[in-house]
Structure formats: C-alpha cells, structure tokens
Amino acid sequence: MKRIWLVHSIFLVVFLFIFLLSHSTSFCAQDLSTLFEQMSPGIVTVYSSTQGKKEVSQGSGFFINSQGWVITNHHVVDGSTQIVIITSDNTEYRVNQVLKTDKDKDLALLATTVPREKIFPLPVNPNLPRIGEPIVVIGSPDGYRLSLSDGLVSAIRDLPKYNISRFIQFTAPISGGSSGSPLINYQGEVIGVVKMTVIGEQVQNINFAIPSQHLFELIPELGPYQKQEELIPPSKPVAPIPSPTHPAEDHYAQGLLYLLWGKTDEALVSFLKAIELNPRYPEAF
C-alpha cells in the first residue's frame, strides 16, 4: 500500500512540475509580447547623413519625454548635417536640433518634429540591474525596424578603454544598427542604451550598454524617477543642425536616405530636384 502511495506521489509531483514548467514558459512568452506592445511605440530608427558624403549612418533610439526628445548614440549622429527618424507607425520626421551630446559617454539627445499625440516616452530607471536579470532590446539591427531580442544581464563590467566607469554586459543578440536601442527590464523600464557588440569568430553575445544613470547626467532635468512629461527644456539656447550650403545638397542627402529605405521613386525625385537646382552637381547623376 505504501509503495502504491509513493508511486502516486511521485507521479503527481512529476505531473505538477511539467505543468508548471510548460505554463511558466507560456506566461513568459506572453509577458514578452505584452512588453513589446507597451514599449515599441516609443522606439525609433535613426538615419543620418553628412554634407558631401554618400554614406548614410543608421542606428536606433527612443523617446525620453513628451516633447519628442530622442536618445541615441553620439556615434550614430556625429558630424551629421541631416538626421531623420522613423517612428513605430512607419512615419518619417526630421530632427531639427541636436540638443546635447556626450562623446565620452557616447550619448546624444535629439529634438524632433513628431506631433505630441504620436510621442510615447519610455520610463527610465537609473539603478544598475542585477546580474542574471532578464532584459530585452528593441531596435533596428541592420535596418530591420522594431526587432525584439531577449537575454540576461551577464555582468556589470569596467572597460578601461572607455570613459565610463561601468558597462552593462548582456546576452540579447544585437547587430549593426542596434546602437542607441534601449535596454529594457521586465518592468518596462529603460536601464541602459545599447552601445556595441564584441565581434570575433569565437565570440557570441558579448554586448554592452551604457547604464541609464548617465542619461540623468546628460539631462539633469530628468531627476530621479521624475515623470517624463515633467521634463523642463534646457535653459541654454541650442544650435540647430547646420543646413547644407546649397539646396541641391539637401535634396541629394534626402535621396540617399530614400535609397537606404528602398524608396527608389522618392529617391529619383530628390536626385532630379538636386540636378534641377544645380545642373553641375555631379553626385546626383
């Protein structure tokens, strides 16, 4: 009788374990879907170009307040004369000002022309995460907009080569174009800004993010745990992005961006406009 009871008990324990494991997995997947739905409206793709150059830089970013300010990496927009963002609803907007940059921390704050009703600021947590804490990254790796990847915080690490006391090392896969993406915890808070990945034949998922505490240094108006809509604009005047010296160059740069997005018809219109404004502008041919 005792043996039968023992067998039944073992069977019940195994059954409960399998049941809880399968349901916890589905809950986790459901939570990730919910997290993505809540956070993705605040994610943008960033494109930038420089006067006189054909290269277009692409990165990621996110809204940090209800005024339409966007955070990205400094290296994504460094030296750019034209910056465009694409929001989650696939609408493009021009960046009219680079409000602040920090080259050492690799952070940039952009002012955009996005209407207020389309701005979805993400909450920021200035505290360092715990090692082993689950996280997600939402960004535009290699231009694939609104891509979600998940992983763990694998370390909080000092990298003497860079002017940041600590980096968040994480395992969620990223690629070129992920720079500036938010590193998000399961509470729906930004805990870091994706900066780089280590590349090598034997290297996998060694990625680093700038802790979000540095956002509070870049933007003192944030304040600890202050609501994003209560941000105060900077008191000092900020310089607009310099415009190209000739309108033809502006249309040419816009054409390059259209080509990158696969909009060949719009690119052709921009190039033709550049030629119309300056028939001697060779790059547009």
What pLDDT does 277 receive? 72
What's the whole-number mean pLDDT along residues 176-192?
95
Instruction: Please indicate, yes or no, whether residues 139 and 198 belong to a single structural domain of this protein.
Output: yes
For residues 3 and 144, give the distance between their C-alpha atoms in angstroms, rounded to a whole number: 59
Would 251 be classed as within a structural domain? yes
Residue 28 burial (CB count, 10 A): 13
- Pick the catalytic residue from 48, 74, 106, 270: 106
pLDDT of residue 272 exceeding 90, the answer is: no
pLDDT tens for 193-223 read: 999 887 765 566 789 999 999 999 898 877 6
Q: 204 with 148, same domain?
A: yes
Q: Which of 197, 214, 231 is the last residue of a domain?
A: 214
pLDDT for 161 equals 75
Q: Determine, yes or no, domain membership for 274.
A: yes
Same domain, 255 and 200: no
Q: Do 171 and 151 meet the contact criterion of CB atoms below 8 Å apart?
A: yes
263 within some domain: yes
pLDDT of residue 223: 60
Q: What is the pLDDT of residues 84-100, one digit of tens each?
A: 999 999 999 999 999 99
Answer whether residue 204 is part of any domain. yes
Between CA 136 and CA 139, with CA 138 as vertex, the angle to 5 degrees is 145
Residue 198 belongs to domain spanning: 134-214
pLDDT tens per residue across span 33-54: 999 999 999 999 999 988 777 7
State the pLDDT at residue 258.
64
Q: Is residue 114 part of a domain?
A: no
Q: Which of 80, 147, 154, 179 is an active site residue?
A: 179
For the chain, how many structural domains are there in total?
Answer: 2
Judge whether 89 counts as a catalytic residue. no
48 carries an active-site annotation: no
Residue 150 sits in a domain of what CATH number? Answer: 2.40.10.10
Known active-site residue 106 = yes
Instruction: Specify if 141 maps to a domain.
Output: yes
Residue whose C-alpha is closest to residue 250's, from 199, 205, 204, 284: 284
196 and 268: one domain?
no
Would residue 5 count as lying in a domain? no
40, 75, 102, 246: which one is catalytic? 75
For residue 240, being part of any structural domain is answered with no
